[in-house]
Amino acid sequence: MTQASPSDSLLLSSTQQKTEWKDLSMPSLNQGAPSGFAVKVGATVPKSVTTAPVNTKAAEAVPALKPYRFATVQKKLIIVNPLDHKIAEVITG
């Protein structure tokens, strides 16, 4: 089986977004946005924002997320392409 490659655009259904919010969102890890950084699809995530690999539970629920990283910034869950650090999806609770 070939693993999907990450891209700069990821379209999740509202059900998938709710699932991922539940599986990945960690309020205790919420980060503030660095000056000049806007949380939006296509934006490049600054090095000062810590991202983590998508966990197994989340990747099993939505396999398309497996190659991505994520972070919580300004109470928004961002899905990040690890190849170029661009935001592929923004999920709000």
- Comparing 8 with 37, the larger pLDDT belongs to 37
Q: Which superfamily does CATH assign the domain made up of 14-92 to? A: inner membrane protein cigr (3.10.450.160)
CA dist 23 and 44 (Å) reads: 23
- Comparing 27 with 56, the larger pLDDT belongs to 56
Burial of 32 by CB count in 10 Å (0-12 exposed, 13-18 middle, 19+ buried)? exposed
- Comparing 28 with 62, the larger pLDDT belongs to 62
Q: Tell me what pLDDT residue 1 has.
A: 45
Q: Tell me what pLDDT residue 51 has.
A: 94
- Comparing 25 with 39, the larger pLDDT belongs to 39
Q: Tell me what pLDDT residue 3 has.
A: 57
Give me the residue spans of the domains in the chain. 14-92
